[in-house]
Amino acid sequence: MLPIYYINLDSRPDRRAFMEAQLASLGLEGTRVSAATPADLTPEEVALYCDGRKPRYLRCKELACSLSHERVWKRMVTAGNRWALVLEDDAELSPLLPNFLESLGNFDTDLIRLEATGPTIRVFPPIANIVGIGLRPFRSTPMGSAGYVLSNRAAKLLVGHPAFRQRQTDLALYNPFDEPGASIRRVQAVPGLCQQLGSMRPDKLSIGRSDIAPVDEPHLYAKEHPLRYRLGRLREGLTEGWRNARDHFASKKQGLTRMSIPFADGTWTGSDLIPRPPAARRNGGPSAG
């Protein structure tokens, strides 16, 4: 079984107990990695990446989230892990997860996103089916980094990458157009094998609720230069929209479609089987982007 790491704030022993109990109930063992907090950021990091007077910036808690994931990637590289499962401490795990992890074998990719999504994402037809779980290359940038399997090659690429000082963790990790996401072979598990609790489970509200107080970090640049800020956002939106539209229509020939990723809870009975490839695709599968 591949190594499992879960990120946990020192101030949240309840979440630690939640994750340990979940893993134990599934016959799994995880290694806790202490999460970074805004208090761990150096004054230099705050000045460089979290300054609201700049056109683009990260909130301190967003940068701390990326640094937390980076701590896991560094441990993977140091330990020489070929693969590892990375979890956040509010991830609800599917009962299908152990069998999936045990059956991965030599499947060749860089990242397997395990998280279920409410909003639809753009996916290609499945390129593999492991114990009823389809693995689909995807072209969206889904929100959420609660659970993913990562290769050692990808971990080495991600450690210290400047994108994680400029964009939120998931926006840098899954973006199919910009680095480092563009260089990572990524697939989405269908159905999802974990989901963030948030407010989805009334009986787990205390676990799902973050205890990092929402700090008022106003974007001073937007307030001081409203017209310049809005024009910049409009220009970025038009550029990204045109790029996404061109990519979408070009990729439809490879079977690209939109779907919502369900969570494989204890009642899941479906599967994401590999369909017979049409003639147009017999000479080559889709690119993960």
Is there a domain that residue 286 lies in?
Answer: no
Is there a domain that residue 215 lies in?
Answer: yes
pLDDT tens digits for range 63-111: 999 999 999 999 999 999 999 999 999 999 999 999 999 999 889 999 9
Is there a domain that residue 146 lies in?
Answer: yes
The whole-angstrom separation of Cα 100 and Cα 2 is 11
Tokens matching residue 278: 């049409």
- Do β-strands 128-130 and 147-151 pair in parallel, antiparallel, or remain unpaired? unpaired
The whole-angstrom separation of Cα 273 and Cα 126 is 7
Residue 150 contacts residue 83 (beta carbons within 8 Å): yes
Average confidence (pLDDT) over 186-200? 87
pLDDT score of 149? 98
What's 45's domain CATH number? Answer: 3.90.550
Please give the model's pTM, rounded to 2 decimal places: 0.85
Is there a domain that residue 70 lies in?
Answer: yes
Task: Output the CA angle 177-238-235, nearest 5 degrees.
Answer: 105
- CA distances to 75, 115, 180 from 177, rounded to whole Å, are 27, 21, 9
Domain that holds residue 213: 4-281
Is there a domain that residue 81 lies in?
Answer: yes
Helix (H, G, I), strand (E, B) or coil at 288: coil
Q: Number of folded domains in the chain?
A: 1
N-terminal to C-terminal alpha carbon distance within the chain: 28
**192 — pLDDT class (breaks 50, 70, 90):** very high
Is there a domain that residue 150 lies in?
Answer: yes
- CA distances to 31, 58, 168, 277 from 47, rounded to whole Å, are 32, 11, 17, 52
**53 — pLDDT class (breaks 50, 70, 90):** confident
